[in-house]
Structure 1
Amino acid sequence: MLVIIQAFLAGIMHLIILNQDYQIFPLFNSTVFTRITGLFLFIVPLISLFLVKRLFTLSEQETIAETQDAFIDNINKLFTTIRGQRHDFIHHVQVMYSMLENDQLQEAKSYMENLLGEIQSVSKTIKLKDPVLSALFNTKRTIAERLCITLDVKQDTPLDGLKLKPYEIVKIFGNLIDNAMEAVSDEPIEFRNVAVSLKKIAFVFVFEVVNPRPLINSSEFDKLFEPNYTTKENHSGLGLAVVKQLVDQIGGEIIVNSSEEKGTSFSVVIPVK
């Protein structure tokens, strides 16, 4: 409506200018009318700018709220996992006690090693240096375990100086990890692993998500980031497009590689502030 009003006022001003030469419309000879039209033509763009800025602010606030909800959900799932382990602890103790009582030392040792492995899996996630990523990776690890996928995460540097807001980090990593886990979900068990690394090299951050299979033909690299492009059934094909848009906005770059030796990797390179 504001654009239409601006166009209407601009048309009137154009007629006023023409009327000065041809005197077609007597009404337009009024100085007051001319001044009012000019004033509105000046005010309406200012209102438009204010409303556009307001719309962008509301959109960003909505995105932040959605990410905060996802973050809280991740934390709740983390607590649920820990509570579940504590709840099961008494049962594990009873089983090990029974084994020791019956001199089944080797069985008790094997049982304890498996139990410790499960606990360390959660502990490793908690010890990551960034709380947002800790919650995100823990949730993804829980999902990966249900799908019999191994998710390895390595963070070598804090995220100080990163040109990304927390909800943007969640969007980038969440989409890349989901994409990688979906890719390996139909692969044989030896290929069902996803490796995530966060490191800083000179003046850039490098985030990398790698899955050993399936491989991608280099001719398809550019298509991967097109909206709605997907090789999976019942998949929106929007995840990588969202990642590309975010990375482009901050002057970053996404590099795709796929080879027999190293598998398929998506590397996000972001300049330090």
Structure 2
Amino acid sequence: MRRNIWFIAIGVIIAAILINNTVYYFLARQSLETAHHNEMLALSAQIELSVEQSRIGAELYEEGIARELRAASIAAQYALDPDVDNITNEQLRELRDKLELSHISLLKKTEDDIVIHRSSDPGQLNKSTKSWEPWHDYFGQLFRLEPVGKDWLGQSMSHFWSGPFEVSSTELDKVYKWGYYFDGTTNFITDPYVNFQRQDVYNKVTGVDRLITSLEEGRPSLLEVAVINPRTFPDGVWSTEESGEVREHFVQRPILYGKYSFKSDGDVSAVQEAYQTKRLVELEERVEGKRVHKMFVPVFVRDKGISITDESGKGMDAYVISIASDYDILRDQLNSQFFNLGFIIVLLTMVSLAIAIVVMRYYKGTREKAIGVAQQTYTDEINSMFQAIRAQRHDFLNHVQTIHSLAVLNKTQELAAYTKELTGEIRLMNDIINIGNPAIAALIRSKVSQAESYKIHFDCSFSGLDVKGMGVKTLDMNRVLGNLIDNAFDEAQKFDEADRHVVLAVRQNDQFIEIDIANPCMDAVHLAKQPLFRSGYTTKRKGHQGLGLFIVKSIAERNKGTVKVEARSDKVIAFVVTLPL
């Protein structure tokens, strides 16, 4: 039966360890996934910040190009005749080469149109601008010497406006930035322009595309990053030219920076949701055989220099960053960490189990050792008690002869004193024998002997004590009694022999056992207020560990009992222990 109890205890411990480790495993997995999610959020914040810094830098660089175009316009105006009809295309080509421009065009106002009248690019000659919205309106404002382009993209300066980089209507494979200058001293608008190469080089060296490439190269799990125009995504805006060719408008392109190759069906709705709700949107889909995790981060800018427009050509103040990561790589990393974690859990489980078995065996051995010590003490004390009884019987004839002699000699006082002492010793022995529990009786007999050797008057009484057998209850009783009596004897020895008086009373009724022991004390009132039951607290000489009363309290609490200390006078302190049955 006892072996089965041990097996059940070990099984419960194993089950508790496994449940604990399983819960820890899933909590750790959730923690790792949360850490990855937070890492992606931190990455998106880093990309957003870097993209904004790079974009603002690119806008400033583009503004610098616009200022150069204005300076080139003024220089060209000084070099040319104020009448456009007196200027040749050859002059413009020479001026273009000197100023290191892509081309120079001159716009002339007619009755119902504004046309390119002269140009270093033959493909531009006689082109109407009537369909160029809003460019055509801005040309009219320039001719009227009004402020230009304040409500749209590009850079507006005195008598000058430069639009954003845009695809040429005559060369669909090229992107240019045009500048337009008119101060009223000529009859034409000076239009110098440069290709996208300078801006493209800047973007590749320090701009957003360079940043995105660096991020992708530095993180194997990062598949791609794209900066998206949410108003024109995914198709962009296209128009058909007079030649019948179709061109995409550069400022309305759906992918502003980066690349977008891992396409999925939920991307369009996710981009729109992020843009409209101004909140992060996440998707997890399988694309090209990969399990892809996508984050769509809306970015709203404060400045008005952002060179993107919606589908109708109006400037925007927002874009969406798309971050696609390879979740299979992340899952492999998580699985690797989970494997290591699982190995640690198994190892800790085995170590914990081994420790539990060792502790149980140690506890079992300690318990058996304690019972053995108690049994040995019981045996020794029983033998001592029997020896005392045999000694009494052996001395009985001597006692009878002594009594007879005192009676014959008529020594009545001496006879009374002698018989009083003799009957007291016999009564004490009978009281000890009648305690009702051999182990407790043996302990009290040994303490009586100690009291005699310490010259302590030890008065003990037992009422109704009936603790059967040698079980845990008897062991606890002996530990409580032993520690209380030892504590009382130690304190009593501090007094003169005449004042060494210890009183022990043990009472039992149907509900509990009460142990009451009182001993002399130097300052009982003060001592009763001290933490006497705390482990390590002692008022005795060196060598005492302060564990006796702590053990008494621990046993009482374990048995759902109580223990208290009280000062019965200035010189008497008492301890009362109650143990429920």
| TM-score > 0.5, shorter chain as reference | yes
Taking a change above 3 Å as real, the CA distance of residues 150 and 220 of structure 1, as seen in their structure-2 partners, is closer
Residue 252 of structure 1 is matched in structure 2 by 561
CA shift for structure 1 position 145: 2.5
Gaps of 5+ in 2: 1-17, 19-23, 34-327
Higher helix share: 1
Deviations 1:53-98 (A, max 9, x none): 3232122112211222222222122123223323333332332333
Q: Do the aligned partners of 2:451 and 2:489 also contact (CA within 8 Å) in 1?
A: yes
The range that moved more, 46-55 or 71-80, is: 46-55
* Pair 1:79–1:235, CA change in 2 (3 A): farther
**Alignment partner of 1:205 is 2:492:** no
Say yes or no: does 1:216 pair with 2:547: no
User: 443, 457, 478: which one pairs with 1:136?
Assistant: 443
Inter-partner Cα distance in structure 2 for 1:176 and 1:182: 10
Distance 1:261 1:48, change over 3 A: closer
Secondary structure at 1:199 match in 2: strand
The offset of 1:37, in angstroms, is 8.3
Name the CA shift for 1:20/1:75 in 2 (closer, same or farther; >3 Å). Answer: farther
Report what 2:207 is aligned to: none
Per residue, is there more strand in 1 or in 2? 2
Give the structure-1-normalised TM-score. 0.75
Q: Which residue of 2 aligns with 1:3?
A: none
Is the CA contact 1:184–1:214 (under 8 Å) kept in the aligned structure 2?
A: no
Task: Say which one has the larger Rg.
Answer: 2
Structure 1 residues 38, 224: CA separation in 2 closer, same or farther (over 3 Å shift)? closer
Q: Which residue of 1 aligns with 2:580?
A: 271
- Equivalent residues in 2 for 1:1-273, closer than 5 Å: 21=330, 23=332, 45-146=352-453, 147-159=455-467, 164-189=472-497, 191-200=499-508, 203-218=511-526, 221-236=529-544, 237-260=546-569, 263-272=572-581
Amino acid at match of 2:507: K
Q: Is the 8 A contact 1:193 1:211 kept in 2?
A: yes
CA distance in structure 2 between the aligned counterparts of 1:72 and 1:202, rounded to whole angstroms: 29
Structure 1 residues 48 and 184: CA distance shift in structure 2, 3 A? closer
- Distance in 1 between residues matched to 2:348 and 2:535, nearest whole Å: 39
Q: What amino acid does structure 2 have at the position aligned with 1:224?
A: L
| TM-fit CA distance, 1:177 | 0.9
TM-score, scaled relative to structure 2: 0.39
What does the per-residue CA deviation read over 1:156-210, in whole Å, with 9 as the maximum and x for residues that have no partner?
A: 34247xx953222111101101111222233345542222222246743322112
SS in 2 for 1:196: strand
What displacement does 1:254 show? 0.9
Q: Structure 2 counterpart of 1:116, which letter?
A: T
Counterpart-to-counterpart distance in 2, 1:231 and 1:251: 27
Greater mean deviation of Cα atoms: 225-234 or 60-69: 225-234
- Answer yes or no: is the 8 Å Cα contact 2:491–2:520 preserved in 1: no
Change in 2 beyond 3 A, CA 1:114/1:41: closer
Within 2, Cα distance between the matches of 1:175 and 1:153? 17
Do 2:523 and 2:571's aligned partners in 1 also have CA atoms closer than 8 Å? no
Indicate the SS of the match to 1:128. Answer: coil
Classify the secondary structure of the residue corresponding to 1:225: coil
Unaligned runs of 5+ in 1: 1-5
SS state at 1:230 partner: coil
Contact 2:514–2:579 (CA under 8 A) maintained in structure 1: yes
- Counterpart of 1:80, as a letter, is Q
- Aligned CA distance change for structure 1 residues 226 and 102 (closer, same or farther; 3 Å): same
- SS of 2:535's equivalent in the other structure is coil
More moved, 54-63 vs 219-228: 219-228
How well do the aligned residues superpose, as a CA RMSD in angstroms? 3.9
Q: 1:203 to 1:36 in 2, by over 3 A?
A: same
The answer on whether the counterparts of 1:129 and 1:155 sit within 8 Å (CA) in structure 2 is no
